[in-house]
A and B are shown apart, each in its own frame.
Chain A
Amino acid sequence: MSETQLRALFAQIAADEPAGSRIDTLRAHRRGRARLRWRRACVASGSVLAGAAVAALAVGVGPARPGPGPAAAGPAAPRQFSPLVPYASFGWLPARVSLVSGGIRPTESYMDAGPQGDPEWTLAVYARGQCHLTSSASGVNCPGAKLPISQRAPDVAGHRAFWYSPGLVWQYARGGWARLSIPAPNLSAVLHSKQGLAGQALKIARGVRYGVTTRLVFPARFSGLPSQWQVHNISYYERDGGLLRADQYMLTTGSSRFHPHVGDTGVWTDAPYIIVHPAPRKGTCSPHDPSSQNTSEIINGYQVVLKRMHIGGLPVQELCGAHADGLWFDIQVFGAHPSIDVTSLFRDHMRLLGTNPANWTSQPIG
C-alpha cells in the first residue's frame, strides 16, 4: 500500500459523489439562527437588565413619535417578562405547523414554529420601550433587529402594523411591539405567495395570546444557593402535550459580569451556563476543542467529564454527563474565580429529576 494508492482511493471516493443531496442550507440557516439567538440572549440580558427600567421610563414619558396610524391605546406592555413564563403564545398556526421552541429574556419572548420540528416562523414579543418606530416612520428598531418598513399592513387586533422584508411588525400594546418572521426570501414573495403567506401571517399575528401564564418545566432543580442567584435567558422546547421544557439557561448572581469581546458574542463570567435535556441515544461528552484537559469522575453516582480550557484568555470549567438517569447535562462556567465551581454546583446544589415529566419542576431554584 502506498500513499499514491491512498490518494487514488480518496480521489475515487470524491469522484463517486452522487448527484442528489439532502443538504438543506436554509435549514442550517434556521438552526444556526436559533442557536445564535439563545447565545445572544445570554449576552444581552445583563445590560438590558440594568438599563431596561431607564429605557422604558424614557420612552414612556417622551414625546409621541410621529408615524402612520395611531399608537396603541389601552393597557401598557410589561416592562420586563418573567424569566419562567413565556408571556405570549400562538393562538393559530397553519396546518402541520406547530410550536418547536422558544426563549425568554427580560425584554423579549420569542417562539419558533414549523413543520416536523423544523422552525420556520418566528414570533418575537418585546417588552415595553424596547422597540421604536423611527421618526420618519421608515422602520421599527428593536434590540438586535432594525426592521425597515416596506409598507403599511392591515391592523392587527386594532393596532397599527407594517410589513418589512420578510415579516410583519405590529404594536400589540402601549409601548410594546411584536414581530413575525415569515418563511420567505423577501416581502415580495410573501405578498405574492400562492400559499397565502401574507394572510397566514396576519392570522398568526391576530391569534397571538398575550399574558399567558403557562410555566416552563425544568428537568433539574438547584437548592441551597444564596438567594441572589436567579435563572435567566431560558431556551425551551415543546414536548408532546404542550409541555414547555426548559433546556438551556443561565444562573446569574450579583458578581456575574459580561465580557463582550470573548468569542463571537461575548460571555458571562461567574454565571453558569446550564444545559439539561433527555439524553440522545448516542450522546457523548466529547469535547469540541481537542486542547481541553479532560478528566472522568463519578459525582453523586453519575459518570461525568470535567473539562478545563481557555477561551479568549478566560479559563473555562465545564462538567458534562452524557447519561445521568436518562438526562444529558452540561454546566459551563467562565472566569478565574467563580463564586461556585462546576463540581460544587453539580455535587452540592443540582438535582437531576429524570426523564418523567411528572417529576419535573416549574421552580428551578429553591
Chain B
Amino acid sequence: MSRGRDAEYTEYVAARLPSLRRLAGVLCGDWGRADDLVQATLTTLYVHWGRVRAATHPDAYARAVLVREFIRERRSVWVRQVSLSGQVGDCPAAAADHDAVLDLRAAVAGLPPRQRATLVLRYYCDLNVDQAAQILGCSPGTVKSQTARALEAVRRALGPAPDLSREARP
C-alpha cells in the first residue's frame, strides 16, 4: 500500500472510529469485546482498503465488515453465552425501570449473533430491510424472518405481555 493510501486509511479510520466502536459496543454488549472486534475490523479494512475506497458507500462497507466479523466471531461462543442465560455485561443501566432494562438487555444478549446483529442494524442503525440485507449478505426476506424470530425470542425471554400481537411486525 502506498503512503497515499496509508494516509487515506488513517484519515478514514480516525474519523469513523467512534461510530464503529459504538456499533461494536451495541453488538457485543461488552466494551472489551467491542474493542477486540473493532481491532479485527480495522485490520480487515486495511487489507481491503481498495474495496473500501471504491465502494459507493464506504461507511456501509466498513459496517458490513464489522457486523460480519461479529457474527463470525460470536458463532463459536454463542453456545457458551446461551448456557450462561445471557449474562449481562458490567455497564450500568440508567433507565428508571432498572430491572426491566436489565431483563431486556439479558434477553438480547442471549440471541444468536445473526439475530442480534439484525436487531442492531434495524433498531440502532435505523436501516431498512434492504440495507440490513446488504450488510448481512442475505435476502430481505431473511432479514424479516430473522427480525421476527429475534423479537419473538426476546419476548419469550421477558415473559408474556398483553400487547405483543400489536407490535409483532418484522
A residues with CB within 8 A of B: 1-3, 5-18, 21-25, 27-29, 31-33, 35-36, 39, 264, 282, 284, 286-291
Contact = CB atoms under 8 A, between A and B. Distances in A.
A241 to B, nearest CB: 28
A23 B43 CA distance: 11
Q: Which of A6, A286, A291 has the most chain B CB within a 10 Å cutoff? A: A6
A8 B123 CA distance: 9
Contacts of B25: 13-14, 16-17
B22 A17 contact: yes
B95 A8 contact: yes
B154 interface: yes
B85 interface: no
A11 B124 contact: yes
Contacts of A5: 104
A24 B22 contact: no
Contacts of B108: 6, 9
B110 interface: no
Nearest to B28: A13
A120 to B, nearest CB: 15
B35 A9 contact: no
B10 interface: yes
Q: Which of A6, A13, A24, A32 has the most CB of B within 10 A?
A: A13
B101 A13 contact: no
A10 to B, nearest CB: 4
Given A9-B101, A264-B50, A288-B72, A22 B39 contact: yes
B38 A23 contact: yes
Interface residues of B, number: 57
Contacts of A1: 104, 107, 151, 154-155, 158, 161, 164, 167
Nearest to B89: A13
A289 B69 CA distance: 10
A33 to B, nearest CB: 7
Interface string B72-101: 100111000000000000011111000001
A211 to B, nearest CB: 30
Contact of B47 (A6, A8, A32): A32
A291 B137 contact: yes
B22 A23 contact: no
Contacts, number: 121
B103 to A, nearest CB: 9
B77 to A, nearest CB: 7
B124 A289 contact: no
A104 B31 CA distance: 38
B133 to A, nearest CB: 11
B9 interface: yes
B42 A2 contact: no
B138 A10 contact: no
Interface pairs A-B: 8 shortest CB-CB? A32-B46, A28-B42, A10-B124, A22-B35, A290-B137, A14-B22, A16-B91, A28-B43
Contacts of A11: 124
Nearest to B154: A1
Interface of B: 1, 6, 9-10, 13-14, 17, 21-22, 25-26, 29, 31-32, 35-36, 38-39, 42-48, 50-51, 68, 71-72, 75-77, 91-95, 101, 104-105, 107-108, 119-120, 123-124, 136-138, 151, 154-155, 158, 161, 164, 167
Contacts of A18: 31
B71 to A, nearest CB: 8
Contacts of B104: 1, 5-6, 9
A17 to B, nearest CB: 6
A188 to B, nearest CB: 14
Contacts of A16: 25, 91-92, 94
B76 to A, nearest CB: 5
B26 A39 contact: no
Contacts of A8: 95
Contacts of B13: 25, 28
Contact of B21 (A12, A21, A289, A290): A21
Contacts of A264: 47-48, 50-51
A22 B34 CA distance: 10
Nearest to A10: B124
A39 B158 CA distance: 48
A24 B124 CA distance: 25
Given A10-B26, A12-B94, A32-B42, 6 more contacts: A9-B108, A16-B25, A17-B22, A23-B21, A32-B43, A284-B76
A24 B10 CA distance: 12
B44 A32 contact: yes
Contacts of A32: 42-47
Given A6-B123, A27-B39, A32-B45, A13 B91 contact: yes
A264 B52 CA distance: 10
A10 B123 contact: yes
Nearest to B108: A9
